[in-house]
Structure 1
Amino acid sequence: MSGYADFAFLQGALRQGAYDYLLKPADEDAIFGLMEGAVETIEREIDEMEMMAKAKAQLLSAQPLLLQDFVQRLLGPGIDSLADIQEQLNFLDRPMRSDNAVMLMMARIDRWPPHLTSNDRLLLEYACNNIMLEHLSPVSQRLAVKMETYMLWMIQPAEDNGVPLRDAGQTYLYVKEMLEKIQVSVRQILNLPLSIVLSRPMKNWRCLRSEYRSMSELFSQGIGLEEEIILVDVPPVDRPPELDKRPQEAVFALQTLLESGETEAFKNELIDYFRHTQKTVFVDYTYQQEVYCSLGAMFLAYINKKRLVNEVKESGLDLALLSDFKAHVNWDELLDYFVKLSDILFRQMEMKKTDQKQHIVDYVDRYMIRNLNGDLSLQQLAKQVHLSPYYLSRLYHSEKGYTLAERLIELKIAKAKQLLGNDFIKVQQVSLELGFENFSYFSKYFKKHVGMTPQEYRDHAR
């Protein structure tokens, strides 16, 4: 309320944010009514401010996910317009400009200590990112995310009041010089081997998609066979002549050893093949996949053929790693996986062989017991278990410690003694029950192994 009669004064007050005005004279109801309205407006504004503060806090907590989603769409088919890119950068509160060039940098921990949990790895990746920031903060502004097994950075020159501190070329050279220092710091502080790929000099944001694909391929070519590699704009490298041998040839030799159960020879051949492939740092990614797929198919075919799926799963080894090449950090880890898998397979097959052998000799025993008066020649017994006579004879002896002939004698004599103990069965009938058509031969056979004739044994038993 004012004593001024000048309307311009009222106009100025309203422009400065005055809630309302009253004309005099005004009664108490009008004054208090207006004051209550002003208080409600202020309370509503405070509520809105609190809601905005909460929303902002939630946005900050969700920013890593939003940032990841933005980068995935940026590197995929999701965002093409520079205006849309800038809008997303502003929304994510990233001080970067879509109308300026950008460079990509990718890094990966080559080998993790075996005792680390998933949370431990996340913390170490966070620490690795902080080391990267310390080295690059003076000259650049960055956007950092995790993509698959890679840590990915998008880098632009740092600015002061909108003015770049360095041009794009100077920033690129500075980052390039810092790579080895970053690698050394990660090794010394975190005790982790880090490999890094830096893109070619800065690119338009819309070129990042193709740049990321070519870097991923370059990363796969040069990183994975060795540790702590730095790749900067490396041109394609021809496959060396020592890799002319196709994976199928090596796999055929390995498959033969696997099928024949030659454990040590298989391991040695597998390790030699991996070392042969690792003679050069740069191996075509498609060639690596061919090697991996060929070996994976060999193992899967063997597992299915021998029905060992459940046994492998129970061992704790993940069979899904046979079809996910990128899940293996490097070739040493892949070799370790294949060696562990082969150990499990050989061990299970040895157990199955033992069980199978025991089943065969037990079956032969049961067959002989049920058919003591029939054909129990070695050829006939071998036919029952679908083995060669020689192999069955050797198998039975190795499992039981005595020969089939000795076992047959033991069974026939035991049965003969049992029957002779029954006075109602004639001795000649005992002979027929045991498959002896000639009683005289049975009598000699019995006396040879017992020391007395069948009749003498019956008399003695009485």
Structure 2
Amino acid sequence: MLIVDDEEIITEGLYDVFRKMDLDLDLCKAYSGQEALEWMYRTRVDIVLSDIRMPGMGGLELMENIRKNWPHCKLIFLTGYNDFDYVYTAIQTKGVRYLLKSEGYDKIIRAVTEAITDLENSLKMDNLLQRSRENLHTLETLAQGNYFRYLLQGGNATGDLEGDFRKLSITLDPAFPVLIAIGDVKNGSLYSSFAERQEMTLAVKFLAQDFLEARTKSLGIIDRYGNLFWLIQPLHHPGMGEGDEYTRTVHFLEGQFEMIQRVCKESLDVSVVVTVGSDACEWGQLPSWYDKIRSQQHLRAGDGTEMVETVRLDITEPVSASRERPLRDRSEALTAHLEGGRKEEFLKLFDDLTQPALDVRAKGIPYLIELYYTVALVLLSYLNRWKHDDNIDANALMKYDLQASWHESFRYLRKTAESLFDFRQSSERNRAAAAIDKVRAYIAEHIAEDLSLVHLGNVIHFNPSYLSRLFKQECGVNLSDYIEEMRIEKAKELLRRNDLKIADVGSLTGYEAAHSFTRFFKKMTGVTPQEYREMQRN
């Protein structure tokens, strides 16, 4: 929720009221319409609580910009003016409420909780699922998916793209670059069949389409690993002087994919991890940039649940061009599960392949040798690609006859696979800890600057809600509480020096207004900064 008012005392007062409530809201504040607009270019905003009359950009002009950027956003306007024209214009717009400031906090709180309820109800997507099924054109979807899988595997992307797009009903423009996003769809239980997994992934694809179509042209396909792969362009291509349209679209995608994740969790009971490329990609670069984004998704911090990560493709290390293509259908499936971190599904498929062969031996020793090396090559390929070979002997992996029996040989492969999954999980936890250490170091070095969730998320390229959740998970405290503690400790340190004025101490800890610093300090310590200084002197 974004709170907007040009009167600081009102903004701070509302911020404090909602800060103390358990509404599961990330709070932001702005002191002008233009500053509010800057917030909305940087992150998704679900609710705006705004003064309707402000110098410069007023509330109604702000409303028009909100509608263009975040069409699902709910607006609550506050004013001290019982002005009919303003009221009439506001109430004519869907999703907008209008309150007088004189009506008090209780009514404002009630309006915000009602807005939250409206948002939650709008995310119950039974109607969207029905529309998705009605719009599912199977043959066209399969043809488009096959075409882009061909391009991703190095097919000719410099041929007659325009003609191909027209024949396949692809609405993207081949004359302009494209943004790339990859979504890893996960479910808490095993899928009973390939068809069910495909159906679930397609449901996510069509749900996402409803959220993305407001500001983009997009196409989602299922890639060779069973993940969703989106190609996205701004709805209106940038003209002269509008080169940041792709940047704004990336911010839009970050916000919308968070909404998509929530809908998928509530309506389909699946989680979706999304990685978005921050730069527009030329069509000829599609295979290499796709591999870069997949590589970055693999190296995510934590388990990635409900994570939206933005990858700066221009600084990402290139993926080796020598990546092996699986030779058989079964190794393709094993590779997909291993790459996707799906341990249970990998082991289930492994057992389905090996146990019948060991029990029946209908195909004899040559088949067992082929099966062993099929699995071993999948594991070795993974080891080489992700450099997880410190504790695994690659030479021993490729010698089936080192074990006493075929049962022992396949048991060795299974244990090796389990070790790889465990190592990956441990690495994710280590990367999560390293990311949080970076955030804490940044806070310590920039205690006087903007330490909002949005800004800190940009520092380590995480979406704000994921950073907030990861920080609480790693540190046991809310990020906002941690920042307040760090600021109060820094303020105490500076107050013990007699050469600084109180206002200077406030400025050095992130509070430009002296009265705001005094109010914050007294709330945290029970005494004013001046009283604390006198106590230290005594």
TM range (shorter): 0.3 to 0.5
Greater C-alpha Rg: 1
Q: TM-score, normalised by structure 2?
A: 0.36
Q: TM-score, normalised by structure 1?
A: 0.42
